[in-house]
Structure formats: C-alpha cells, structure tokens
Amino acid sequence: MSTLPKPDIRPARPHFSSGPCAKRPGWTPEALKNAAVGRSHRAKIGKERLSRAIELTREVLEVPADYRIGIVPASDTGAVEMALWSLLGARGVDMLAWESFGAGWVTDVVKQLRLEDVRRIEADYGKLPDLSAVDFDRDVVFTWNGTTSGVRVPNADFIPADRKGLTICDATSAAFAQRLDFAKLDVVTFSWQKVLGGEAAHGVLILSPRAVERLETYTPSWPLPKIFRLTKGGKLIEGIFRGETINTPSMLCVEDYLDALEWAKSIGGLDGLIARADANFAVIDRYVGESAWLAHLAEDPSTRSNTSVCLSIVDEEVARLDDDAKAAFAKGIVSALDKEGVAYDIGHYRDAPPGLRIWAGATVETSDLEALMPWLGWAFQTQKAALQRA
C-alpha cells in the first residue's frame, strides 16, 4: 500500500488554537521575569502593573479617553456576564446570535435573568442575522466576531448614533485584530488570551459614558453576586477601572499581558496587529479559493473573520456522509495533523458544523500558515484514501 508523500516544510510553531491562542513571536518565560509574584495586587507594585495594563490597553486598542476600562475575573465570559446582569432589564432587549457563544448569551438572558421583553434575532452558522431588524430603542447584545462560526459584522454602520438603548458587544475574537467603532459601542468585552495570546482567566470590560449612566441610575430587580457588582451606593466603583480588581488577579498573567501589549506597540499598534491578521487570513483564503474540497463556513466574503477562520469540507464524497461520519472525517484530519506536529487544536467547535477552525490572529506568523496549507491537503487526501478503503 502506497503512502502519500508528506510536504517538505513544517510550521515552526504549530499553534493554531482559537483560544488560548499562540504566544507572540519570540516569547519565552523570560518575558515574565519582572512579574510581581508573591506580592499583593493591592500593594503599590501590583496597582502600578494593573494600572499600566489599563493604560496600554487604551493606547493600543485606541479606546476613547472617556470610556472606562476594567480588568475583571473569568475571562470574556465573566466580563459579558457582568454586563448582562448589571445593565439589562431597564428596557426591552434584542439578542443577536449566529453561533454558539451568542446563543449562550440568549440562554442566560431568557432562562437565568428571565427577562420577558426579549427578541431573538438569529441566523444559522455561516450567516449574519438581518441587522436591519434590530430596534436600537432597545438594548442590543451581540458578538462582533463569531468565534465558532468565523462570521463577523463587517462594521458598525448598522448601529445608529442616536440610539436610545445600550449596545453590549462581545468582542473577544475581534479586539486587536479588527477595528471596533467605539462611538457605536457602549459595552465592549474581550479576553487577552485571544488576539494577543495572553494567558487565560482574565477579562476586560470597557464601558461608555452611557453605560456608566445606566449603572448609576438603574438597579436590577435581582440580587447581584459580589463578583458582578460595579456600583456602590448608586455610584460606579471607580477603583475597578484604575486597577483595583474585584478579586485577586494573577500577576504572572498581568505581566504576560503587558508583554503582549508592548510587543503590539513595537509592530505599529492596532494598525500593525490588523495588518498581520489580514495577511494571515489571506493565506488561508487563497488556499481555499484554489481548493476543491474546502470552503469558508462564512458565506458572504464581507463577513469572514480574519482571526477564527472556520472551514467546511465540501468534497462531494464526504458531503454524502451523515453528520456523525462527517464529524469523524474532520476529526481524522485534525488528528493526523496533530500527530505530525504541524497543527494543534484546529478542530471545529463542538456545537458548530463539522470542519476545521484555524486561528489567524496577529500572534501567528504568516510563514507558519503558508507552511501549513500543503499539510491540509495531505491530511485530507490521507483521510479520503482511508474512506475509500473502508
């Protein structure tokens, strides 16, 4: 039995996971040598490092001066939940969902907060919902970039400047790789484990003046756990947005985030980060365009993510398989690449259609994606041959 020849070149770094994501190029543990380990985050040195992380976030992400930035627990999920539990209920809410995380926020609002005036505006994987159907007199919750579908909003033009409700945006796979229009966004959340490749478990919560006004003039009818509380006595707890975190942060993770932010500055800030992600996406997009067996899950080119690139296997023989067999075929490709040490963690998300998901964010080297593409073809042909023998 003949075996298919393997490509000659391997990625130098096979880390293509969609979270936690690849570390910045050249990273070593030496980057953490100045971490304030063994010190209180409330000590002067701890507060200084946390405050510096907030300052650099504002600088690199180009956050307006009158927006608050806070470091919060539990990654992007914690930041989103803080916003949902603290802000919603003052008026009706439109929930947008086109992939699993957006659908999860719908579940929390309907089944946990039990809000009654909720409209669901949804779409299947690969598509955006009808954005013209959104009522911005209501609060609106949406993901900017669907991590598990590879579908993003192309811009914020669908959001009016004179909206009455708040816009709450989960931007975890978009921040630092896609330009966010903060004038149209009242709450922005993300985790630094995504585009900047920081260590996991911490989230960032960004609030507009309109969001702060809501917090100081509206009290939810439900009890708020301490970890969600952003106000005290009807006033914003300003310390959270100066680095006085709600619970104890890892100063190792904070130092790692600072290292990533300094690297971001060194490559041109936000423009440099976006350019790297765009170049990485272009490598995958070019390969897909020349392929007979792969296609983007995102149907509209203008909505395709430049970070979490989700791909469908459209080979005719594979397309005739049932869903379980399709998933097994995709898993076989992922497993083969993992065993060869050329791509780690590129399987589809568990709730998403079977296929591949390749991270193309700014910390990934374009040369590594270029080296990976021929290996995708090798793994596909290997699995196809096994399918035909079965």
202: domain CATH number?
3.40.640.10
Nearest alpha carbon to residue 76 among 212, 187, 182: 187
CA dihedral 289, 292, 297, 300 (to 10 degrees): 40
The set of residues, in sequence order, having a beta carbon less than 8 Å from that of 229 and lying 6+ positions away, is 86, 237, 246
Domain assignment present for residue 130? The answer is yes
- What is the Cα gyration radius of the chain? 22
Q: Is residue 5 part of a domain?
A: no
Element (H, E) at 330: helix 323-340
Residue 24: inside a domain: no
Residues 334 and 376 in one domain: yes
Q: At what angle do helices 209-217 and 75-87 cross, to 10 degrees?
A: 50
How far is Cα 88 from Cα 295, in angstroms, rounded to an integer? 38
Return all residues near 186 (Cβ < 8 A) that are at least 6 apart: 166, 167, 168, 207, 208, 210, 211
Residue 239 neighbours by CB under 8 Å, 6+ apart? none
- Look at residue 8 and tell me if it is in a domain: no
Q: Is residue 211 located within the same domain as residue 63? A: yes
Please check whether residues 194 and 342 belong to one and the same domain: no
Q: What is the pLDDT along the chain (390 residues), one digit of tens a residue?
A: 357 899 999 999 999 999 999 999 999 999 999 999 999 999 999 999 999 999 999 999 999 999 999 999 999 999 999 999 999 999 999 999 999 999 999 999 999 999 999 999 999 999 999 999 999 999 999 999 999 999 999 999 999 999 999 999 999 999 999 999 999 999 999 999 999 999 999 999 999 999 999 999 999 999 999 999 999 999 999 999 999 999 999 999 999 999 999 999 999 999 999 999 999 999 999 999 999 999 999 999 999 999 999 999 999 999 999 999 999 999 999 999 999 999 999 999 999 999 999 999 999 999 999 999 999 999 999 999 999 988
128 and 219 in a common domain: yes
Residues 355 and 313 in one domain: yes
Domain shared by 59 and 179, yes or no: yes
Query: What's 173's DSSP letter?
Result: T
Q: Would you call the peptide bond into 20 cis, given omega within 30 degrees of 0 as the criterion? A: yes
Instruction: Name residues whose C-beta falls within 8 Å of residue 362's C-beta, 6 or more positions apart in sequence.
Output: 176, 177, 195, 196, 264, 267, 272, 273, 274, 276, 277, 280
Residue 366 belongs to some domain of the structure = yes
The residue among 265, 291, 314 that closes a domain is 265
**Are both 223 and 280 inside the same structural domain?**
no
Sign of the torsion angle spanned by Cα atoms 241, 158, 106, 303: negative
Q: Please give the order of strands across the beta sheet that includes 68-73.
A: 68-73, 202-207, 187-191, 167-170, 139-143, 93-97, 118-122
Beta partners for 306?
none
Looking at the structure, tell me whether residues 225 and 303 fall in a common domain.
no
Residue 2 has what pLDDT? 54
Q: Is residue 309 part of a domain?
A: yes
User: Do residues 78 and 220 both lie within one domain?
Assistant: yes
Exposed (0-12), middle (13-18) or buried (19+): which is 194, by Cβ within 10 Å? buried
Counted domains in the chain: 2
The amino acid present at 361, given as its one-letter code, is G
Residues 75 and 163 in one domain: yes
Task: Give, as one character, the DSSP assignment of residue 14.
Answer: -
| Domain termination site, one of 207, 231, 265 | 265
Q: Same domain, yes or no, for 225 and 355?
A: no
**Within 13 Å and on the Cβ side, how many CA atoms surround 180?**
29
Q: Which residues of 86-104 are buried (b: 16+ CB within 10 A; e: fewer)?
A: bbbbeebbbbbbbbbbbbb
- Domain that includes residue 362, residue range: 269-389
Q: Outline where 62-131 has alpha helix (H).
A: 75-87, 100-107
> Of 265, 282, 315, which residue sits at a domain end?
265
Examine residue 246 and state whether it is found in any structural domain, yes or no: yes
Q: Are residues 282 and 216 in the same domain?
A: no
Say if residues 370 and 283 touch (Cβ distance below 8 Å): yes
pLDDT at residue number 1: 38
Q: Is residue 296 part of a domain?
A: yes
Give the CATH number, domain containing residue 324: 3.90.1150.10
**DSSP-based helix, strand, coil % in the chain, nearest 5:** 40, 15, 45
What is the number of H-type helices and E-type strands within the chain?
9, 14
